[in-house]
Amino acid sequence: MTDWKNKLYFGDNLDILREHVASDSVDLIYLDPPFNSNATYNVLFQEKSGERSAAQITAFEDTWHWGMESEYAYQEMVKESPQKLASLLQAMRAFLGQNDMMAYLVMVAQRMVELHRVLKPTGSIYLHCDPTASHYLKLLMDAVFDVRNFRNEIVWRRSFAHGDAKQGARHFGRCTDSLLFYVKTDTAIWNPQYAPYSEEALKRDYKYTEEGTKRVYRLAPVDGPGGASKGNPYYDFLGVKGYWRFTQERMQKLYDEGRLVRSSTGKSLSQKMYLDEAKGRPVDNLWDDINRISPTSSERLGYPTQKPEALLERIIAASSNEGDLVLDPFCGCGTTIAVAERLKRRWIGIDITHLAISLMRHRLHDTFGPDLSPYEVIGDPKDLESARALAEQNRYQFEWWALGLVDARPAQDKRKGADRGVDGYINFFDDNTGKAKTIIVQVKSGGVNRSYIATLNSDREREKAPIGILITLEEPTKPMLKEAAAGGFYEPEHFPGNQYPRLQILTIKELLEGKEAQYPRMAPAATFKRAQRHRKSMEDQQRLV
């Protein structure tokens, strides 16, 4: 599809799936639903009461609570879902009660129905979860996708954690996640994946060297396991009678090529498997060769639930082809879409936080530069009216979105600590020391007056920032503009003659029209940690093998 544009959606993925994603349109789905992995098993199963509404999901806060929204969603699913799923949800509620776990499962069930709808008959889905809820989620997927379409529970060893014995833990170390792999039908795309042989495996298996050619090989059986019951042919070859993996013609060809070896007793045959022809070790359902992102990794972007690209590379390469459409409805920092872009797939990413959308945009542009495929962001404010609506609906989301307009990073989650008056910051360089300077940013969605500029300047001085920026939804007053002008200019030592206002006021209207913050741009801003640059080429495909 030459006119296709990849898509980043801001909003609730349930609404977006229902309204914007067509049935039978997606080739591969990967989802890692947010879950409070820091909560204990017992807390999740604690009975809840009251009429609290379901928690808003944010980038760093992903706990689900049972409340009126969960109750409405549950009733909707029971009334409108196929009987198998409706019966399962009722049984789960009878067993679990009204608690956070049940709220989480109802949320997943709603979305799983829509994901099944949008998936092509040749499509696959991978649900990433941890052992706290994997058994319940598998039941949900059995009900939605049919137990016959279950393919694997992949166990990913994400770390080599100790058992926390020194901290008093009384259990084995918890170091794995699960990926539940289902297909929609038996016609699902499948590309076998291979991993490099370990040194131990090479020494153990490839222990023969062919005379003359010096080619290293191992011996593999050619007898047919299961005999006649598996349809294997029976015949006499080189005086050995039995059921074989291959036809007699194929066996003869192997023999003529010098690839068959008779045992020393003469009672069995084996096939030479040359190392230089081997693709590698076939990947099984234990993935212990993909490491989590280390604290010092250049891949790490600072997002709390970021998954390694190698994990998504394997999934996307196995269950899709170039040009296929990959969907991640809980996109986070965008690992799925970044890998899909690199492997020449089309993609759709959805997230409910503007912080994540901003991070994904930076990641894509930093990673691919001019090679980035066309894409559009859908659901974020495009005009002043929609910006006001977002501010009224959720001021934190408005704040994160506004910070993204100037490429600023949120300073902190102020709901969890004292508000120091700084909503975000921008790092920039204007000399060769390698040390970034900081611009502080404040966002106001309500009425503003002259005192806000005085506060901005005070905070700027306290933070030792050369520049302070106020982003406002409302037009600034004349006293505000006069106060900002009185702040003077910042003149970088290495850029004599270049002056930048120390106190800057930018309205949402101006930013939507393309106005930018004024500061030195000697080098690319380091506000967001820059993703590694990649080129889309066949080398990326070959590296997977």
Find out whether 45 and 77 touch, Cβ atoms under 8 Å.
no
Q: Which residues contact 180 (CB under 8 A, 6 or more apart)?
A: 126, 127, 129, 134, 137, 138, 141, 150, 152, 153, 154
The pLDDT of residue 470: 97
Q: What is the pLDDT of residues 527-540, one digit of tens each?
A: 555 566 665 654 44
Q: What is the pLDDT of residues 165-193, one digit of tens each?
A: 667 778 888 889 999 999 999 999 999 99
Average pLDDT over residues 52-60: 31
- Give 3-state DSSP helix, strand, coil % of the chain, rounded to 5: 35, 20, 45
DSSP one-letter code for 170: -
Q: Which of 412-416, 440-444, 530-534 has the lowest mean pLDDT?
A: 412-416
User: Is 214 a residue whose pLDDT tops 50?
Assistant: yes
Overall pTM surpassing 0.75 (yes/no): yes
Q: Report the distance separating Cα 44 and Cα 332, nearest Å.
A: 23
Residue (of 368, 389, 369, 366) closest to 379 by Cα position: 389
- Strands 6-10, 346-351: pairing kind: parallel
Q: List domains and CATH numbers for the chain.
A: 6-193+285-378 (3.40.50.150), 199-278 (no CATH), 394-512 (3.40.1350.10)
What 3-state class would DSSP assign to 512? helix
Q: How confident is the model at residue 35 (pLDDT cuts 50, 70, 90)?
A: low
Q: Report the distance separating Cα 483 and Cα 505, nearest Å.
A: 11
User: Is 365 a residue whose pLDDT tops 60?
Assistant: yes
Q: Which of 13-22, 40-49, 149-158, 352-361 has the lowest mean pLDDT?
A: 40-49
Share of the chain above pLDDT 70, in %: 84
Q: How confident is the model at residue 525 (pLDDT cuts 50, 70, 90)?
A: very low
User: Is 218 a residue whose pLDDT tops 90?
Assistant: yes
Position with higher pLDDT, 57 vs 139:
139
Find out whether 53 and 353 touch, Cβ atoms under 8 Å.
no
